[in-house]
Copies of this chain bind each other. A is one copy, B any other.
Amino acid sequence: MTDRESTNFTLSCPLPLPAEAQILLAHGGGGRLMHRLIEDVFLPAFGTAGERHDGAVLEIGGVKLAFTTDAYVVRPLVFPGGDIGTLAVNGTVNDLAMCGATPRYLSAAFVLEEGVSTALLARIAAGMARAAAAAGVALVTGDTKVVDRGKGDGIYIATAGIGVVAHDVTIAPSRVRPGDAVLVNGDLGRHGIAIMSAREGLAFETTIESDCMPLNGPVAALLDAGVAVHCLRDCTRGGLASTLVEIAEATRLHIRLDERAVPVREEVRGACELLGLDPLYVANEGRFAAVVAPQDADRALAILRAQPGCEDAARIGHVSADDPGLVTMISAIGAARLVDMLSGEQLPRIC
């Protein structure tokens, strides 16, 4: 090989080595490192597969379908307000709902660690069945693999889901416009704090329960009422902050938040202060941000607040055209601060 050929080879390499030679826990955290992994490893290989959306929207035989998948590795397997099974069902239901789809069918693939209790597995499977029934979806196909003792962590579950995009609307960052209102469907941070409390054996005055719930009902209520929903994104890993930065970066618009309007329960705020966490970055499993046309904002808020589990829905900010790609927040004392995506890993294995 000549020098020239060698140079050409280097220049045309389709898979440049990413900056980190090893996978870190933060690569699973929903923040900057995870996005870099997608850009450096998955996008070069799969093209669209790593697209920054909660699912893919496909057209098959004239039917518009949404298709999504998620792996669940939450620790502990059972926590206040849910378990890995309810999370695996609701998480995939919610990703479909965020595409504006009606979730219909779910698959579940289990990776079991040798030695895990069969009774625990049965309990988790029963919980999944209840969660599926509550969300109106059918678990139709599955798989089970077993790994050696010490090579897993009890139970991992990967669910995939198919939904039908019935409404003739496109819900995507490209539809967001300056002036749009930003809503959230309830108080933030409970899931992450519930997991951390369970994992670290922390006891607060009140037991903080995960907000884990299906979001297809609230989304359907908005769409059925004809609300001009421009963008939806669930606030899971990386919390509300990372979700909004994703939207701001994708739209090249500026999202302005009002800190006083962001609903956080007193006990969650207290736990966050104690633990040095920012509730804006704590994971949720039943919360989403909705960007809607300004004239529909009040109506959308009323519709959301009528949904079970969404009583604390709030209008937390708006979209503006200046400072493209940024999220800023006006604090209670009137100071503005920049809100960035989660850059490391606040709390691993949250979902």
Contacts and interface: CB of A to CB of B under 8 A. Distances in A.
A156 interface: yes
Contacts of A68: 107, 141
Number of chain A interface residues as a range: 35 or more
Copies per complex of this chain: 2
Chain A contact residues, majority secondary structure:
mixed
A346 B129 CA distance: 32
B115 A23 contact: yes
B46 A129 contact: yes
Nearest to A20: B118
A126 interface: yes
A105 B73 contact: no
Interface in A97-116: 104-105, 107-116
A151 B148 contact: no
Interface of A: 14-15, 17-18, 20-29, 34, 37-38, 40-42, 44-51, 53, 55-56, 58, 60-63, 65, 67-73, 104-105, 107-119, 121-123, 125-126, 128-129, 132, 138-148, 150-153, 156, 158, 160, 162, 164, 348-349, 351
- Closest CB pairs A-B (n = 4): A28-B146, A160-B160, A158-B158, A69-B107
